Amino acid sequence: MISLLLFFGFFLFLMFYGIVIYNRLVQIKHNITQAWSNIDVLLKQRHDELPKLVEVCRQYKQFEQETLRQVTEARGRVQEAGARQDIAALGLAEGALRQGLGQIFAVAEAYPELRSNEQFARLMTRVSGLEDAIADRRELYNANVNINNARIEQFPDNFIAMLFMFQPKPLLRFSEADKKDVDIKALFG
């Protein structure tokens, strides 16, 4: 009788422990979803601001049109990748977009009239703020992805993860070109 009670108690303990692990994995999964949603909101806000910034720059006829074209195309690729939730493609498109924005800001230094334009200054500040917020949210997203990927590989969580088909998630990475400084000499050379 005591052995039956011990067995039943051990079984209840294992079941309770499995439920706790499952609930933690679900919470992590939802943290990733929330972090991605936060990034998506910021990407949409930036997506709405970029055409305004490009249009203000276009008003200065001699402004480098190729840079504006690159930013416009990269903006479209970011929107497309975000809609598909393709993390790898988003990282590459983000890299191209961030590089293009850096070029716009660097080239704008050669146009004192543009820099003094109130609308340009406001948009540049807004876009820069959104860039910083996206970087912060990307860091949070990647932290949650790392927690998820580690937990589904750790014992005993890996048993519950396999049983309920929890999958590893990809990190949001930007291209190497995005990490480099803008070559101002090349822009004006």
Per-residue pLDDT, 159: 92
Give 130-168 as a DSSP string: HHHHHHHHHHHHHHHHHHHHHHTTSTTHHHHHHHTT---
Q: Is the pLDDT of residue 173 over 90?
A: no
What pLDDT, on a 0 to 100 scale, did the predictor assign at position 179? 46
Q: Which residue has the higher pLDDT, 106 or 170?
A: 170
Condensed to tens digits (0 to 9), the pLDDT of residues 22-41 reads 999 999 999 999 999 999 99
Domain map (residue ranges) of the chain: 35-188
CATH T-level assignment (fold) for domain 35-188:
de novo design (two linked rop proteins) (1.20.1440)
Alpha-carbon dihedral sign for residues 86, 104, 64, 189: negative
| pLDDT tops 70 at residue 62 | no
Q: What is the pLDDT of residue 139?
A: 94
Q: Can you give the pLDDT at residue 186?
A: 45
Tokens of 143: 């932290």
Q: d(Cα 125, Cα 101) in Å, to the nearest integer?
A: 12
pTM of the model: 0.76
Yes or no: say if 157 and 147 are a contact pair by the CB < 8 Å rule.
no
116-144: pLDDT as tens digits: 788 888 888 898 899 899 989 999 999 99
- Higher pLDDT: 59 or 22? It is 22
Residue 187 binned pLDDT confidence (cut-offs 50, 70, 90): very low
What the block records as the tokens of 53 is 């910034």
Task: Give the whole-angstrom CA distance, residue 17 versus residue 11.
Answer: 10
* pLDDT grade for 176, boundaries at 50, 70 and 90: low
